[in-house]
Amino acid sequence: MKLHEGLFMVAIFLYLAYTQLVMGQPRQDCQTRCGDVAIEYPFGISSGCYFPGDDSFNITCMEDRPHVLGDTEVNNFYHSGELQVLLHRSSTCYDEQGNETFSENGDFTLVNLTLSAKNKFTVVGCNAFAVQRAFGMQAYSTGCISACDSLAEANEKCNGAGCCRSDVSFPLDSYTFEAILDIWDKTSVDQFNPCSYAFLVEDGKFNFSSSEDLQNLRNVTRFPAVLDWSIGNQTCDQVGNTSICGANSKCSNSTTRNGYICICDEGFDGNPYLSHGCQDIDECTTNNPIHKHNCSDPDTCRNKVGAFDCKCKSGYRLDTTTMSCKRKAIGWTMILIGTTIGFVVILLGGFFIKQRLRHQKNRELRQKFFQKNGGGMLIQRISGAGPSNIDVKIFTEEGMKEATNGYDESRILGQGGQGTVYKGIFPDNSIVAIKKARLGDNSQVEQFINEVLVLSQINHRNVVKLLGCCLETEVPLLVYEFITSGTLFDHLHGSMCDSSLTWEHRLRIAVEIAGTLAYLHSSASIPIIHRDVKTANILLDENLNAKVADFGASRLIPMDKEELATMVQGTLGYLDPEYYNTGLLNEKSDVYSFGVVLMELLSGRKALCFEQPQQSKHLVSYFAAATKENRLHEVIDGQVMNEYNQREIQEATKIALECTRLMGEERPRMKEVAAELEALRASKNKHQWSDEYPEPKEIEHLLGVEILSAQGETSSTGYESIKNVAILDIEAGR
Higher pLDDT, 601 or 495: 601
pLDDT tens for each residue of 440-449: 556 666 667 7
Higher pLDDT, 287 or 690: 287
Q: Among 284-288, 590-594, 637-641, name the one with the lowest average pLDDT.
A: 284-288
Q: Beta-carbon neighbour count of residue 127 at 10 Å?
A: 19
The SS3 of residue 235 is: coil
Q: So what's the architecture of 485-732 in CATH?
A: Orthogonal Bundle (1.10)
The SS3 of residue 212 is: helix
Closest CA to 38 of 61, 54, 71, 63: 61
- Where do the domains of the chain lie? 20-78, 85-228, 229-278, 281-329, 365-482, 485-732
Q: So what's the architecture of 281-329 in CATH?
A: Ribbon (2.10)
pLDDT tens for each residue of 413-438: 887 666 788 999 999 999 999 988 77
Q: So what's the architecture of 365-482 in CATH?
A: 2-Layer Sandwich (3.30)
95, pLDDT greater than 80 = yes
Averaged pLDDT for residues 451-475: 81
Which pLDDT score is estimated for 676?
95
141, pLDDT greater than 50 = yes
pTM over 0.85: no
588, pLDDT greater than 90 = yes
Higher pLDDT, 710 or 492: 492
Fold: same for 365-482 and 485-732: no
Closest CA to 653 of 622, 608, 611, 686: 622
Is-catalytic flag, 213?
no
The SS3 of residue 78 is: strand
pLDDT tens for each residue of 234-262: 999 999 989 999 999 999 999 888 899 99
Q: Which of 532, 550, 576, 637 is catalytic?
A: 532
**Could you tell me what percent of the chain has a pLDDT over 70?**
80
506, pLDDT greater than 50 = yes
Q: Beta strand 393-394 with 466-470: parallel, antiparallel or unpaired?
A: parallel
Q: Please tell me what DSSP assigns to residue 618.
A: B
Averaged pLDDT for residues 695-717: 35
Higher pLDDT, 145 or 389: 145
Which pLDDT score is estimated for 439?
61
Closest CA to 655 of 597, 714, 724, 725: 597
